[in-house]
Structure formats: structure tokens, C-alpha cells
Chains A and B, each alone.
Chain A
Amino acid sequence: GQQLNQSPQSMFIQEGEDVSMNCTSSSIFNTWLWYKQDPGEGPVLLIALYKAGELTSNGRLTAQFGITRKDSFLNISASIPSDVGIYFCAGPKNRDDKIIFGKGTRLHILP
């Protein structure tokens, strides 16, 4: 079935550094979603991308929908402690409602 592969699996960075993570698929996605999950909470939608090539920002976060429609990346600029968490890419399978999640990138910020 369709799978989303996220890399890196985890990251350890210094506060203030920029972060880049990506998500790839062997098949085309028509929508890319980026969620963040804090411990003990549900995923929170960060950015939704609907068109190939689209570049969208949400504060310090920027995400792009790859031209091939098989990948997406998420950048975080000037990281702060509250950026710690797990970042999931997700997308619907074809045109129906089912959302497939990647395994996540766990972000750690060193003091």
C-alpha cells in the first residue's frame, strides 16, 4: 500500500538553529499535510498543501509540495524549545477520506 517515508527519524539541534525534514512517497499524493504531536496530545495541523510546487508558511514554519507530487519538506527557522515534538507528514490516499501518516520525525532541542 501507499507509504510515507520521513527523514530523518530524529534530530538533535541547538536552540536557534534551522531545521529541515522531508517526506517522500513512491506514489503521487494530491495533498500534503504536516502535523505536530506533543507528548500526551493529539496531532495538530501545522500546514496543508494542495498544489504541486506550492510553498506555504505558518510563522517560522515553511512547507513545500514537491513538483513531482511525491515529496514534501518542512522547514523550521530559528528553533525554540517549544518546537520539540514529533512532526508527521500525512496525506489522503487517492481521493477518499483515509489519511496516511508517516512515522514521524522526532525533534529534540539541546539547551
Chain B
Amino acid sequence: EPEVTQTPSHQVTQMGQEVILRCVPISNHLYFYWYRQILGQKVEFLVSFYNNEISEKSEIFDDQFSVERPDGSNFTLKIRSTKLEDSAMYFCASSVGGTANQPQHFGDGTRLSIL
């Protein structure tokens, strides 16, 4: 069964450094998402992306965050200047359609640790 893949599985970065998290969504999916989950807490929406632009973002997704689909297969999340509180699991998801009738499929996440 097709799946969303994320790399790396674990990223350790010094505070203030830039980090790029990578995702390969399911190939026929058109809508892409990033979520984060701080340890022991719930999954929180960050951003949705469709047709090469952001369709919605949360208050968490400030100017330090950006997303890009640099080619036909990858979807990336960049954090420009990482903070300690950015430490979390980051999940990429994709769906065929953008409405609630098209459930999102999640990758296994990247654990980001900021030192």
C-alpha cells in the first residue's frame, strides 16, 4: 500500500540553526500537510498546501516556518532559526482531495531535537 515517507527519522540541531524536514507524499495525492506533536501532547495542525501554495496555516506557523514543493515528489518544511520549543515530532500528511471526505494519510514523522 502506498505510504507517506519522511526523512530523516531523527534530526538533532543546535538552537538557531536552520533545519529542513523532508516528505514524499503518496504519488496521486494533491493536498499536503504538516503537523507537529510535542512529546506526550496532541497532534497540532501547522499548514496545508495545495496547487503550490499555502491554503491554510495555524498560529504556530509563524515567519520562521516555510514550506516548499521543490519538485514533483518532495514536500519540505523549513524552520529558519530553530528554538528549543521547536523540539517535537513533525508529521507530514497527504490526501487525494482537500475536503473532509478525503482522509489524510500520515508519515511516521521526524523527531526534531533542538539543543
Contacts and interface: CB of A to CB of B under 8 A. Distances in A.
Contacts of B100: 30-31, 50, 91-92, 95
Interface string B89-102: 00101000011110
A84 to B, nearest CB: 16
A104 B40 CA distance: 10
A98 B45 contact: yes
Contacts of B103: 33, 45, 48
Interface stretch (B12-20, B71-79, B106-114): B106-114
B84 interface: no
Contact of A99 (B101, B104, B108): B104
What range describes how many residues of A lie at the interface?
Answer: 20 to 34
Nearest to B6: A42
Contacts of B48: 97-98
B109 A41 contact: yes
Given A42-B91, A45-B105, A98-B48, 8 more contacts: A42-B106, A92-B100, A95-B99, A96-B55, A97-B50, A97-B56, A101-B43, A103-B42
Contacts of A59: none
Contacts of B106: 35, 42-45
A81 to B, nearest CB: 21
Contacts of B98: 97
21 contacts: A31-B100, A31-B101, A33-B103, A40-B108, A40-B109, A41-B108, A42-B4, A42-B91, A42-B109, A45-B104, A92-B99, A92-B100, A95-B100, A96-B56, A97-B98, A98-B45, A98-B48, A98-B58, A99-B33, A102-B42, A104-B42
